[in-house]
Amino acid sequence: MTKLTMHPVTAENWRQITVLAPKEDQERFIESNAVSILESIYEPEHNWRCFGLYQGKEVAGFVMIGAENKEEGWIWLDRFMLDKDFQGKGLGNAFLKTAVDYIRRNYKVREIILSVTGENNAAKIFYKKNGFRNTGLIDPENGEEIFSLHLSG
């Protein structure tokens, strides 16, 4: 498999990243990458960092990381998505591992959290398969189910 990497969104790659899109039936479950990038600029209190997910030199997806709570030791892994043309190839699991490894190396947190729209069963299965557990909590901001991954060591 071609090497999978994460690169920050920059003036050089933002256009490639904003045109990425999930499958049509997934669009209702996730904000656009453009909206996410704007949030990272205009909501500085969350210190969102946006990344393109690359397979070799091709941008294949997007992820946003931030809203770290240093006191409680957690951070959000948000807006994780793969472009429709890169889905179904086993890349999601590998890119999620890449993002989790990035967090392990760059943040002193014990837990990664994310939220999933209640009717997005495919995402729930995906995250559970990758070690996340449904906390039973609901995000009061958007009504989504909160999932958590406890980091060891």
Q: Which residue has the tokens 């590998």?
A: 94
The pLDDT tens digits along the chain (153 residues) read 679 999 999 999 999 999 999 999 999 999 999 999 999 999 999 999 999 999 999 999 999 999 999 999 999 999 999 999 999 998 999 999 999 999 999 999 999 999 999 999 999 999 999 999 999 999 998 999 999 999 976
Asked if 78 and 64 touch (Cβ cutoff 8 Å), the reply is: yes
Give the domain CATH number at 17: 3.40.630.30
Q: How many domains does the chain have?
A: 1
Q: What pLDDT does residue 141 have? A: 87
65: containing domain? 4-150
The H or E element spanning position 137 is: strand 133-138
User: How far lies 152's CA from each of 72, 107, 108, 112, 136, in Å?
Assistant: 15, 13, 11, 11, 21
Under DSSP, is residue 59 helix (H, G, I), strand (E, B) or coil? Answer: strand
- Look up the pTM and report it: 0.93
